[in-house]
Amino acid sequence: MKIFLDTANVDSIKKYNDMGLVDGITTNPTLLSREKGNPAEIMRQIVKIVKGPVSLEVVGTTAEEMLEEAHRLKKYGPNVVVKIPMIADGLKAVKKLKSEGIETNVTLVFSANQAILAAKAGAAYVSPFIGRLDDAGQDGMALIREIVQIFKNYEFGTNVLVASVRHPLHVIDAGKIGAHVVTLPPEILGKMLTHPLTDKGLSAFLSDWEKVKKENPNLAI
Ligand code: G3P
């Protein structure tokens, strides 16, 4: 399972990238709007920090606008994946970009039908938003199960990228289903990293070791 960070926050990206946990990044206009500074500069920095794929999203809504933006974004670095909304013009842009060797991530996917069409158009990734489906009273993870099964049945080369992840259990469920990628807000990756029993256990080890040191003042390990 690949782990991407779903953020445009450079400090968080550096923090988890230094631990070897970041296989890639996904951003979107909302995530960029939360950061201070020039968004173009932020995107350039992210593309340099992370070796893996970095999804940068277009904001145009016609195929022509999306293609123009895609070509500009692709100049940020070879690892840029162009994020395209799941609309008819978006799929037209996906097909053209695929023919040019440019990878795309089709975003705002909310049904298995949309995922099939994005894959047929040539997307490298499809991004079903499971948390937003859960929020709307639908079962987001059931959608992942459907898409993974359909893609397996027909050996589609498109990666299922689980987006809009809300908690660590989503990650475990996505892994059990066999989704290729989960993209996580940094807070969720932080939650996956910690466990109260780890902290309690470490604290006991350290205090017991203090006792050992008191009994062996010259001890060095
Ligand atoms: O990358 C987009 C997706 O993960 C958004 O998540 O939390 O805004 O529903 P959210």
Per-residue pLDDT of the chain (221 residues; tens, 9 = 90+): 999 999 999 999 999 999 999 999 999 999 999 999 999 999 999 999 999 999 999 999 999 999 999 999 999 999 999 999 999 999 999 999 999 999 999 999 999 999 999 999 999 999 999 999 999 999 999 999 999 999 999 999 999 999 999 999 999 999 999 999 999 999 999 999 999 999 999 999 999 999 999 999 888 87
Inter-axis angle of helices 10-17 and 186-193, nearest 10? 30
Residue nearest ligand 1's atom 6 by CA: 164
- 164 and 140 Cβ atoms separated by less than 8 Å: yes
Joined together, the tokens standing for residue 41 give 């500069």
Tokens 């205090």 appear where? 207
| Tally of structural domains, the chain | 1
Q: What is the pLDDT of residue 218?
A: 85
d(CA 129, CA 170): 12
- Quick one: CA dihedral 49, 59, 186, 139, positive or negative? negative
Residue nearest ligand 1's atom 4 by CA: 164
Which residues, including other chains, have CB under 8 Å from residue 95's CB and lie 6 or more apart?
A: 121, 122
How far apart are the CA of 14 and the centre of ligand 1, in A? 20
Q: What is the pLDDT of residue 8?
A: 98
Q: What is the pLDDT of residue 217?
A: 85
204 part of a folded domain: no
> Pick the catalytic residue: 2, 14, 74, 83?
83
Pocket mutation for ligand 1, best pick of 9, 27, 28, 165 (most atoms within 8 Å of C-beta) = 28
13 part of a folded domain: yes
87 part of a folded domain: yes
202 part of a folded domain: no
Query: Could you tell me the residue range of the domain that residue 88 belongs to?
Result: 2-194
* CATH code: domain of residue 94: 3.20.20.70
209 part of a folded domain: no
- 125 and 153 Cβ atoms separated by less than 8 Å: no
Name the DSSP class of 165: -
212 part of a folded domain: no
Name the DSSP class of 138: S
User: Among this protein's residues, is 213 annotated catalytic?
Assistant: no
180 part of a folded domain: yes
Joined together, the tokens standing for residue 51 give 């070796």
d(CA 119, CA 104): 10
199 part of a folded domain: no
Q: What is the pLDDT of residue 15?
A: 98
Q: What is the pLDDT of residue 220?
A: 82
Round to the nearest angstrom and report the end-to-end CA distance of the chain. Answer: 37
Pocket, ligand 1, Cβ cutoff 6 A? 6, 26, 28, 129, 131-132, 163-164, 183
The backbone torsions φ and ψ at residue 19, rounded to the nearest 5 degrees and listed phi first, read -90, 0
